[in-house]
Amino acid sequence: MPPRDGRGALIHPELLDRPERRIDGVDKTTGAARYTADLVVPRALEAAFLRSPYPHARIVSVDTERARGLPGVRAVVTGADVRGQRLGRRLQDWPVLCWDRVLFIGDRVAAVAADTREIAEEAVRLISVQYEELPPLLDMDVALRADAAALHPDAASYRFLEGRGERPAVPHPNYQGHVVESHGEVDAAFGRAARIFEHEFTTPRIHQAPLEPRAAIVWLEDDRVRVVSTNKAPFNLRDQMAATLGLAKDRIVVDNGMIGGDFGAKGLSTDEFVLYHLAKAAGRPVRAITRYADELTTTNPRHASRIRLRTGVDAEGRIVAHESHALFDGGAYAAGKPTARLLVEGGVSTLEGYRVPAARHEAATVYTNNVPGGHMRAPGQPQNVFASESHLDLIARELGITPLEMRRRNVARAGDPTTTGAPWHGPDLAALLDRAADEIRAENARPAGRGVGFALGVRHVGRGSTTISLRLERDGTIEARTGVGDQGGGQHTLIQRIVAATLAVDASKVRVRRLSTEGPQDPGIGGSRVTPVHGGAALAAANALKDKLAGRSVAEAAGALNPGEAIEVTATFDATAEDHGACAHAIEVAVDAETGTVRVLSAVLAVDVGQVISPVGLRGQLEGGFVYGLGMALTEDLALEDGRVQAANLGDYKLPTIADVPPLRIVHLSDGHGVGPYGARSAGELVNPGVPAAVANAVHDASGARVRVLPVTAERVWRELRGT
Amino acid sequence: MKLEHRVTVDAPRAKVWAVLMDLPVAARCVPGTHEVAADGGGVRGTLDVRVGPVKLALGGTVAIESRDEAAGTARLRADAEDRRIGGAVRALVDLSVTGDAPTELRIASDVAVLGRIGELGQALIARQADKVLAGFAECLRATVAAR
Amino acid sequence: MRPFDYFEPETLDEALEILAGDPDDTLVMAGGTALVILMKQDLVRPERVLGLRRIAELRDIGASDAGVALGALATLGALARSQRVRGHTVALASTFAAVGTVRIREQATLGGNLAHADPAQDPPVTLLALDGVAVAKSRFAERRIPLDGLFTDLFETSLERGELLLRVELPPLPKGARATYKKFLPATLDDYATISVAAVIATDANASVTHARIALGGAGPVPLRARDAERSLAGRRLDDAAIREAAALAAAATDPIEDLRGSAAYKRAMAEVWTERALREVA
């Protein structure tokens, strides 16, 4: 079906079919792109932080005298100077600097601004802190014992942002968030089940690992606080800073440089708050560039999880009842989660995409003395899908049917009740599964040691509101102004192409300019939001301009402008419609039974992302999402020992490299009925959640080894095969 | 991390015990220590540890936290700090002597590495700690034998 | 990174002179691929750095007494491509090609690789199996160090203060010798070996083993020779039983360090599997 402009009129499909030239492509490949750390601000100082070596301790005393005496040191700030100030995206529970207790290894106690980074780091070493160690709660079960000490005894006094009421109540003080949701008569349905299966799965913390570590620079100028940050949602950071620091929002201006990767990590900023205090104390700009070791060990990685699933099926293997109990290790602070329930929401509804007539889901995030958990590409969902799809395979094998048949019998079709109780209205999941199975030749016999695994991934299309304005200049070019940055996902190229296609101009005629928080309000990047929200606003703005042109072409209208004149339109768009994208995964692996080594031989993604707007960018998101999932499946594990993150560099924290990536086939199946511009759906968080499950299922198929813990390492497979 | 070492000393138990409780002597038995001096009830000194090109100078104290001569058990606590790289090492060392001529000495250590030294990698640190403690055990054996 | 004094002489003699000036506090840097990371992490804070990269005389890959002599400053990339190295044995060229990525190989050098003494590195394993001898020189003397005496502990060598590595000499291989290097990479292909094995075997007309060398990487604090395994093969045919026995003996010689790449038990078991695979390849 040819794309439409949302109001029925056909537009210029050829402009969307043509592979795009990315707006940021030349600058990034030539090295001209400027990131936050590249910004030169005159007289800027460098910051360094003193971090807790203990997972849980009381601060007895902090002595900064020697640090202050070091030549080149311009300011020293300790927790005592910022007592009571806590930061966070929703619940503000993370101290700007700790003044009373430290709650994880890496928690900040003091900060120094100095002429050079070396001096600042030297000064940090000269600060003496006396701690009194407290028993750490490193295990979720221990933290949830009835007699466990509350890690945040003053939680009632914490600020809960955005005026959406109070923080939801929790049944134990060491829950960050807790929810029980159900639909249908769950217990009765279990009573009718022919068989009931129960399994438990665990996943480790993993890191977002963007290429660019966090960076920020803060200075005070004419009663304004100027912030340049790698944060991907500058308006949110501004609001958080205003709340924490007690400043009016309009006194703070947050801007970005180019952002070098995000994957969820760049939603939480912590340095900026301290930099404000340092800049104020020193009377000079202060900059911090996070060391990669600190990025890995002290920021906000994906939550480790333990998920128990229980499912009842009828005699034909159809699901009749389901319940889940999912615990996510939230670590010392809930500050990294922007969600109102303080959960990783993608982890709540297990067995998404299937027909589930009755279900009860209990999900919680738990305070511990581990590194705080945060948001990462489809938060909560990969843990959920790993458990759910492994569980389905195990049930299928117990029932003596193929995993594919199990899925065919249970996949949600239009109108079926899903695991949340809501009826399914989205992509044709059965068709996606069938296509993936065909492409991988699931029915073919395979040599020993080879197998195929499946998984289904369903991801909501984001919602929200933003404003984009367009300005048609006399030279025939159009400038699009937006508050959203581009962290590599192709956001600006998307805006450019929608405007160009709608107005029938070449994309090179459309520039995209990013405004700081001095421009119109913007929700930033995240939550599979940009295509529906910013794409929707770009379309609305382009249509508004088209209306203003009153039938003239862009070139004609531009030619009629006098020098200094321009035509401007502004559109605010609120994306409210509910929709889902979907992806069926089929992955073939070979398992070396002597060593347990898993090699992924090939993979198929059958996806429904609606109308494609940027074919190259889309491929990047889908292929990138696959490789991202492959890391979680096979190599990534931000392991802790006694609360300490073990990997301090990317030599030890292993990401997949291009040599590990198998031939990947992507098949697009779509009715084009997505709710985004021209029928588009979101793509960024669609693929990665299903990969670990599909790999684990393929390993089982190939070797008989069922690994219920991620990553599926060779040693784990080897131990399963040997029964040790 | 938890480490355990055992040595058998061909000497009376009382003699082994006496050397162990003579902290300046015992501390000098840790390979790489220097400037060992008595400090209150314990000792103060510096332990040099080299891992390839990385050099640590751990300055700190060792104290007897508890002892029970009759049971032949004692607990030492060592705290040491490196100011160059930034970080500290803390060890709780449980000593127990059993038997008598030969006397068996068991050294069970719980070593915690704090701060930036940890970036060297846990595996490497465990190996170095193990080496230091093995050297300590061997030196104790030789010291007792020489008395 | 902190400021330091940097020296970059053009001749070996000058370099030895500079090193002798302060052998305790001078860090020797060849390609810098290992040291610069440690310096950036601030784990190493040298006062003086002696850069060797301009010393052309140590880059040669040449002949020596019917064998080959590999200059300490030859890059791993140059060694991987060298016809002379390939001519000695293809397994050695593939060993150099197995290190890191192209960016690392074009910067890292043989001497730096050996002096860094990382037990999971690739080249030391094959060089051990090829009976390599390191030649080191100080201002006062030159000496030869068989490679199994070079590595003393994790990241430690028997190089003395003031000594620099000049080259590694490999004696000629026995006629008809077959060699292989197996690098076990169970997670990502861009990684240090979980375990690695080099095997060199020569047999006589009766197919009896006349020469056997088995070396292991990632199997302990230093790259090591599995001498019991080698001895077990002497005079025997490389049949199934002999291979299995040697593989078991090789595993018994290991003392693996548990780390992010696997438990000690797993690495030991993998040493057996990969020794067996290596021997089957050269049988």
* CATH 3.30.365.10 domain range(s) in chain A: 439-457+579-724, 462-575
Q: Which residue of C has its CA nearest to B127?
A: C257
**Closest Cβ–Cβ partner in A648, A649, A718 for C266:** A718
Question: What is the predicted pLDDT for the residue at A549?
Answer: 95
The answer to whether A595 faces chain C, any CB pair under 8 Å, is yes
**Closest Cβ–Cβ partner in A293, A594, A659 for C190:** A659
Q: Quick one: what percent of chain A has pLDDT higher than 90?
A: 95
Q: Using a CB-CB distance cutoff of 8 angstroms, which residues of chain B are in contact with residue A652?
A: 121
Looking at every residue in chain B, the average pLDDT score rounds to 88
Of all helices (H) and strands (E), which one includes residue A89?
none
Q: Using a CB-CB distance cutoff of 8 angstroms, which residues of chain A are in contact with residue B118?
A: 644, 648
Q: How confident is the model at residue C9 (pLDDT cuts 50, 70, 90)?
A: very high
Give the pLDDT confidence of C198-257 residue by residue, as tens digits. 999 999 999 999 999 999 999 999 999 999 999 999 999 999 999 999 999 999 999 999
Question: What is the predicted pLDDT for the residue at B2?
Answer: 87
Of all helices (H) and strands (E), which one includes residue A113?
strand A108-114
Mean pLDDT calculated for residue range A325-341: 97
Q: Using a CB-CB distance cutoff of 8 angstroms, which residues of chain B are in contact with residue C153?
A: 131
Looking at every residue in chain A, the average pLDDT score rounds to 95
Residue A416 has pLDDT above 80, yes or no: yes
Q: How confident is the model at residue B3 (pLDDT cuts 50, 70, 90)?
A: confident
CATH topology of domain A439-457+579-724: Aldehyde Oxidoreductase; domain 4 (3.30.365)
Q: Using a CB-CB distance cutoff of 8 angstroms, which residues of chain C are in contact with residue A660?
A: 188-190
Dihedral, CA atoms, A265, A270, A276, A277, nearest 10 degrees?
-160
The answer to whether B122 faces chain A, any CB pair under 8 Å, is yes
Residue from A595, A627, A720, A722 whose CB has the most chain C CBs within 10 Å, to mutate: A595
Question: What is the predicted pLDDT for the residue at A255?
Answer: 97
A464 - beta bridge partners? A575
Question: What is the predicted pLDDT for the residue at A167?
Answer: 92
Of all helices (H) and strands (E), which one includes residue A195?
strand A195-203
Residue entry with tokens 């790259």: C223
The answer to whether B83 faces chain C, any CB pair under 8 Å, is no
Give the pLDDT confidence of A593-621 residue by residue, as tens digits. 999 999 999 999 999 999 999 999 999 99
Question: What is the predicted pLDDT for the residue at A3?
Answer: 47
Query: In the structure encoding, which two tokens stand for residue B48, read together?
Result: 């040099």
Q: How far is C257 from chain B (nearest CA, A)?
A: 7
The rounded distance, in Å, linking the Cα atoms of C167 and A258 is: 47
Domain holding B137, by residue range, is 2-146
Contact flag A595-C273 (C-beta cutoff 8 Å): yes
Q: How far is C219 from chain A (nearest CA, A)?
A: 16
The answer to whether C34 faces chain A, any CB pair under 8 Å, is no
Q: Using a CB-CB distance cutoff of 8 angstroms, which residues of chain B are in contact with residue C117?
A: 52
What's the N-to-C CA distance of chain B in angstroms? 33
Give domain A44-136+209-298's CATH superfamily: Aldehyde oxidase/xanthine dehydrogenase, a/b hammerhead (3.90.1170.50)
Q: What CATH number did the domain enclosing B97 receive?
A: 3.30.530.20
Contact flag C190-A657 (C-beta cutoff 8 Å): yes
A322 - beta bridge partners? A311, A359
The CA-based angle A527-A532-A536, given to 5 degrees, is 140
Dihedral, CA atoms, A437, A443, A445, A449, nearest 10 degrees?
40
**Closest Cβ–Cβ partner in C190, C191, C262 for A715:** C262
Q: Is A179 helix (H, G, I), strand (E, B) or coil?
A: strand
Q: How confident is the model at residue A164 (pLDDT cuts 50, 70, 90)?
A: low
Residue range C178-282, CATH number: 3.30.390.50
The rounded distance, in Å, linking the Cα atoms of C43 and C27 is: 13
Residue range A462-575, CATH number: 3.30.365.10
Q: Which residue of C has its CA nearest to A592?
A: C186
Q: Using a CB-CB distance cutoff of 8 angstroms, which residues of chain B are in contact with residue C35?
A: 53
The answer to whether A293 faces chain B, any CB pair under 8 Å, is yes
Give the pLDDT confidence of A481-516 residue by residue, as tens digits. 999 999 999 999 999 999 999 999 999 999 999 999
Give the pLDDT confidence of A569-596 residue by residue, as tens digits. 999 999 999 999 999 999 999 999 999 9
**Domains in chain B, number:** 1
Q: How far is A630 from chain C (nearest CA, A)?
A: 10
Q: How confident is the model at residue A2 (pLDDT cuts 50, 70, 90)?
A: very low
Give the pLDDT confidence of B23-40 residue by residue, as tens digits. 888 888 888 898 889 888
Question: What is the predicted pLDDT for the residue at B101?
Answer: 85
Contact flag B121-A642 (C-beta cutoff 8 Å): no
Q: How far is B120 from chain C (nearest CA, A)?
A: 8
Q: Using a CB-CB distance cutoff of 8 angstroms, which residues of chain B are in contact with residue A646?
A: 121-122
DSSP conformation class of A610: B
HEC profile of chain C: CCCCEEECCCCHHHHHHHHHHCCCCEEEECCCCCHHHHHHCCCCCCCEEEECCCCHHHCCEEEECCEEEEECCCEHHHHHHCHHHHHHCHHHHHHHHCCCCHHHHCCCEHHHHHHHCCCCCCHHHHHHHCCCEEEEECCCCEEEEEHHHCEEECCEECCCCCCEEEEEEECCCCCCCEEEEEEECCCCCCCCCCEEEEEEEEECCCCEEEEEEEEEECCCCCCEECHHHHHHHCCCECCHHHHHHHHHHHHHCCCCCCECCECHHHHHHHHHHHHHHHHHHHC
A/B interface, count of CB pairs below 8 Å: 26
The rounded distance, in Å, linking the Cα atoms of C183 and C120 is: 10
Highest mean pLDDT among A2-11, A511-520, A671-680: A511-520
* Chains in contact with C via at least 3 Cβ–Cβ pairs below 8 Å: A, B
Q: Which residue of C has its CA nearest to A639?
A: C260
Q: How confident is the model at residue C2 (pLDDT cuts 50, 70, 90)?
A: confident
Give the pLDDT confidence of A111-124 residue by residue, as tens digits. 999 999 999 999 99
Contact flag C188-A713 (C-beta cutoff 8 Å): no
* Chains in contact with A via at least 3 Cβ–Cβ pairs below 8 Å: B, C
Contact flag B122-A641 (C-beta cutoff 8 Å): yes
The answer to whether B110 faces chain A, any CB pair under 8 Å, is no
Which amino acid, residue B69?
E
Contact flag B119-A644 (C-beta cutoff 8 Å): no
Q: How far is B122 from chain C (nearest CA, A)?
A: 8
Q: Using a CB-CB distance cutoff of 8 angstroms, which residues of chain C are in contact with residue B84?
A: 45
Give the pLDDT confidence of C24-70 residue by residue, as tens digits. 889 999 999 999 988 888 888 899 999 999 999 999 999 888 899 99
Give the pLDDT confidence of A303-330 residue by residue, as tens digits. 999 999 999 999 999 999 999 999 999 9
- Is the dihedral angle over the CA atoms A388, A393, A394, A400 positive or is it negative? positive
Architecture of domain C5-51: 2-Layer Sandwich (3.30)
Question: What is the predicted pLDDT for the residue at C1?
Answer: 77
Yes or no: say if A381 and A685 are a contact pair by the CB < 8 Å rule.
yes
Question: What is the predicted pLDDT for the residue at A11?
Answer: 67
Give the pLDDT confidence of A51-82 residue by residue, as tens digits. 999 999 999 999 999 999 999 999 999 999 99
**Closest Cβ–Cβ partner in B83, B114, B121 for A652:** B121
Q: Which residue of A has its CA nearest to B123?
A: A646
Report the top-level CATH class of C56-170: alpha beta
Q: How far is C24 from chain B (nearest CA, A)?
A: 11
Contact flag C273-A637 (C-beta cutoff 8 Å): no
Contact flag A648-B118 (C-beta cutoff 8 Å): yes
CB atoms closer than 10 angstroms to residue A538? 31
Yes or no: say if A659 and C190 are a contact pair by the CB < 8 Å rule.
yes
- Is the dihedral angle over the CA atoms A702, A705, A707, A713 positive or is it negative? negative
Q: How many CA atoms lie less than 13 Å away from A109 in the CB half-sphere?
A: 30
The answer to whether A601 faces chain C, any CB pair under 8 Å, is no
The rounded distance, in Å, linking the Cα atoms of A376 and A460 is: 15
Q: Using a CB-CB distance cutoff of 8 angstroms, which residues of chain B are in contact with residue A125?
A: 83-84, 86
Nearest one of A676, A441, A460 to A575, comparing CA atoms: A676
CB atoms closer than 10 angstroms to residue A550? 7
Question: What is the predicted pLDDT for the residue at A421?
Answer: 97
**Domain residues of chain C, as ranges?**
5-51, 56-170, 178-282
- Angle of helix A403-410 relative to helix A429-439, nearest 10 degrees, comes to 160
Contact flag B121-A648 (C-beta cutoff 8 Å): yes
Contact flag A54-B114 (C-beta cutoff 8 Å): yes
Q: Which residue of A has its CA nearest to C277?
A: A594
Contact flag A53-B88 (C-beta cutoff 8 Å): yes
Give the pLDDT confidence of A199-228 residue by residue, as tens digits. 999 999 999 999 999 999 999 999 999 999
The answer to whether B125 faces chain A, any CB pair under 8 Å, is no
Mean pLDDT calculated for residue range A550-554: 94
Question: What is the predicted pLDDT for the residue at A400?
Answer: 97
Q: Using a CB-CB distance cutoff of 8 angstroms, which residues of chain B are in contact with residue C258?
A: 123, 126
HEC profile of A308-332: EEEEEECCCCCEEEEEEEEEEEEEC
Yes or no: say if C85 and C92 are a contact pair by the CB < 8 Å rule.
yes
Identical fold, C5-51 and C178-282: no
Burial class (CB in 10 A: 0-12, 13-18, 19+), C10: exposed
